[in-house]
Amino acid sequence: MEQQTQSQEQNTQEQKNSKLMKAIVIGAVAGGALAMIDSTTRKKVLDNTNQAKETISQFAADVKENPSGTKEDLMERIQDTSAVLREAVASLRNIYEKANEDILDKVTDVQDDAKEAIAATKEAGEELQEAGDKIKEAKDEMVNDSDASPANNTQSSSSNASSQNKNL
């Protein structure tokens, strides 16, 4: 019973894959057909196809004439290409690492600058709060002094002046 269920699931999966492959092939053919509507595209495709045909024909002729020499030449080309690709990958890796370091340093600098700006802003806010408190105190003293008698006013003024000098 279990095998039958698994077999049915496999068949269903194969049918889905088959439908997907059909859709992919149909899409590729339709896309290719649409691309061939343009005359310049047709000409380019024809030129590239002829060039590929000539290259393959030349390669086949070379292989027939000298199979071992062609093999060695091909292997040498592959090795040279591999070496160039390795160098390119190493260069790209170095560029990537350097860029990451530079970016990380700049991000760190920006974070530090932001922290300093926040600290300076908080400090300025605290100083403004203190100045506001002192102004309020001075206002309260002036209000209290004006409510007091003129004799006390002279004494308060001199004591206020001395207390203000101490605060400065």
Q: Give 20-75 pLDDT, tens digit per residue.
A: 888 999 999 998 888 888 889 889 989 999 999 999 999 888 888 888 888 898 89
pLDDT higher than threshold 70 for residue 165: no
Q: What are phi and psi of 132, to 5 degrees?
A: -65, -40
CA distance 134 to 167: 9
Show Cβ contacts of residue 167 under 8 Å, excluding neighbours closer than 6 positions. Answer: 134
3-state SS class at 54 = helix
